[in-house]
Amino acid sequence: MPELPEVSTMVDDLRRSIIGKKICSVWSDLPGKNLPDFRDIRGATIKTVDRRGKNILVYLSKGKEDLLLLVHPRMTGHFLIGKWVIAGRKKPEPVLKNGPLSEKTNSYIHLIFTLGDGEMLGLSDARKFSKIIFGKAARVEKLNELNKLGPDALSPKLTEPAFQKIISSKNKPIKAVLMDQSAVAGIGNIYSDEILWLSKINPLRKAPVLKDEEIRSIYSAMCSILKKAVRLRGTSFSDFRDTGGRKGKYGERRLVYGLASRPCVRCGSIIAKAKVSGRTASFCPECQK
């Protein structure tokens, strides 16, 4: 579920908390096939944390080597900062029983990096779908996970004319185009619904038939919705929490996502839903033509 606003929230938190710290040890109970070889990460210093689309990039250095840890949270992954007691391969127990990390959240911790100051960086992932890649920075940056991404949805380089060109070139429903990471990176099911509701565009309409003014409206709505969601620290509709275990607040301001069968806040018509590229779209059949 984490999309651009949720990943941006995690990255902002990590930048404030872990840059300059050394990774001392790694614990995980994930199957070996799901984990990279972490031997070279021990003793590495965290240089910076960045985001590309929905990917979290932790840049490290060790001696003369530049290393990169890439984590794509996918459906339920998110980072937490705290302290856990680790006994062998058993499930880690939280030290701060009354802290912001709930017992349920802690039960989904499957990867922990112990930092030099005693703090720990844990990856919580209820469904264990997160993609984790580690290696030399130059190699990881050339992988398809990054190389095939389209421009970031909030990048200054994604101008309105560039956005129009991308949308017009894709022969599929506009919601599917917005969720296509090779077209525009960072948008998923939640924010594509919100963007299309604000721009009054039906998610089933084919992208090439949209008029220029409609694409401009989508571009404006995309910038507005995503910036607002970043300010509100994302949506915690299901699993997402920030690195302190707190919920994002955008879910309280949702316009249409997940609100099927309820009245549209703009016109009062009943919100409908439909399948688009295997995902459920929520939209107003009256407002969104």
Active site residues: 2-3, 54, 279
Quote the DSSP letter at residue 34.
Answer: G
DSSP per residue, 188-255 = -HHHHHHHHHHTT--TTSBGGG--HHHHHHHHHHHHHHHHHHHHTT-B-SSS---TTSPPPBGGGG-S
CA distance 111 to 8: 20
- For residue 250, the one-letter residue type is Y
Chain centroid to Cα 23, Å, comes to 23
If we measure between CA atoms, which residue out of 223, 221, 185, 184 comes closest to residue 201?
221
Number of other CB atoms surrounding residue 250 within 10 Å = 27
